[in-house]
Amino acid sequence: MKKMTKLEKNWILYDVGNSAFVMLASTIIPIYYKNIAAASGISAADSTAYFSYATSLVTIIVAVLGPVLGSFADTKGFKKPVFTFFMMMGVLGCAGLAVPKTWLAFLVVYVIAKVGLNASLVFYDAMLGDVTTDDRMDEVSARGYAWGYIGSCIPFVFSLIFVLKADAFGISGTLAMALAFLVNAAWWFLVTLPLLKSYQQIHYVERTANLVRDSFRRLGQSFVEIRKTPKIWYFLLAFFCYIDGVYTIIDMATSYGKDVGISDTNLLLALLLTQVVAFPCSILFGRLSRTVRNTTLIQASIISYFGVVLFALQLDKAWEFWFLAVWVALFQGAIQSMSRSYFARIIPKEKATEFFGFFDIFGKGAAFVGTMLMGISTQLFHTSRAGVAMLAVMFAAGFVLFQLAVRAGDA
């Protein structure tokens, strides 16, 4: 691959920025929240369930907003300002997590921050066609995930130092967490500035007098086309199932780890290792896609995640959590970047932004099912293991549906 352009690098930098909050949300935030909830007398199973419900609420909100946001992404002059609005919503929400002192108020601010993040990603994905060419899309996409993983480690390490060495600094644990939230919010904002300064929307439709009505009309036409194209329809259904499992694992790993007795320090350090390992693995899969079929890489990733879930069912030791963290890291970037690349190949190029709107809806809305199933199962059976078992079903369904998509594409 030729040297990346400045615009491609700036696009990748947003992944570096928002991944800092994603890392925080999958590591320190659940631990901090569960400690607040435990201090309020909430049981471990119930606090995990409530966190699952909050995460599910985020995906419902974004799923409702998604169709409108996706359609607006095609309209001239809309992509950057609306992206900026939701990016700032996420940044300010991240900083705002330093304020609440009760578990319920903390979850409310968390939902606001996550909605800002996920909504901004609808536009971020749609920008890919504006910042690079078709022949470079696979590796630029993969490098976005790769540098996001490693870049997120920088503010995370500072956060970890504050949290684990609060006594050495002579500050309270609460103040240490507040500093962690502020550092990550500042990082997210600052590394996004180059993209905001350099990005220009290239592909768009002209504004009309009835913008909302016409946007929904285009969405309706695209949905009909998707339903009539089996390889696209089956893939979106498959993506919904297996990425649901992936996002649920990312969101709930630390909550589950605490429930089975893994210490906070082991959880945080193991998940930091996940980011470090995921960096070269994401780049490796991007290069493998030159010689190995994209579909084969996706199938291997789904099977691997199914194995992750089965292994997690018996997890009760720190070394097992470390092993699982590395296992997940091998395929985490691959399954996300290869899915985005595969979808880019099978859709009409002239309608890429509209179709990626649906891709984001299925992807960001997917975690609703996984987190809700995990929350309900955990409360019904009074153990997080029941919730994890449900994820195996999602990966199995995703694999079967993906096979149907591949066969439809080969037909």
Per-10-residue mean pLDDT, the chain, length 411: 86 94 86 88 85 83 73 74 93 95 94 92 82 80 87 87 84 89 96 94 69 70 86 94 81 68 77 82 84 90 91 79 84 87 78 73 69 76 76 91 90 56
Cβ proximity of 28 and 270 under 8 Å: no
Phi, psi for residue 144 in degrees, rounded to 5? -60, -50
Rounded to 5 degrees, φ, ψ at 75 are -85, 135
- Would you call 222 exposed, middle or buried from its count of C-beta atoms within 10 A (0-12, 13-18, 19+)? buried
Residue 277 belongs to some domain of the structure: yes
pLDDT at 56: 79
Q: CB of 270 within 8 A of CB of 392? A: no
Listed residue (238, 47, 26, 338) closest to 152, CA to CA: 26
pLDDT given for residue 386 in this prediction: 77
| 192 assigned to some structural domain | yes
User: Is 1 a member of any domain?
Assistant: no
Using an 8 Å Cβ cutoff, are 349 and 238 in contact? Answer: no
pLDDT given for residue 351 in this prediction: 67
Q: What is the CA radius of gyration of the chain?
A: 20
At 168, which CATH number?
1.20.1250.20
Cα distance between residue 13 and residue 148, in whole Å: 8
- Asked, for residue 44, whether it belongs to a domain, the answer is yes
Please name the residues in contact with 55: beta carbons below 8 A apart, sequence gap of 6 or more.
114, 251, 252, 367, 371
For residue 30, the model assigns a pLDDT of 85
Q: What is the pLDDT of residue 205?
A: 65
What domain range includes position 357? 6-410
Q: Is residue 177 within 8 Å of residue 28, measured between CB atoms?
A: yes
Q: Whats the size of the chain, residue-wise?
A: 411
How many domains does the chain contain in total? 1
At 198 the pLDDT is 92
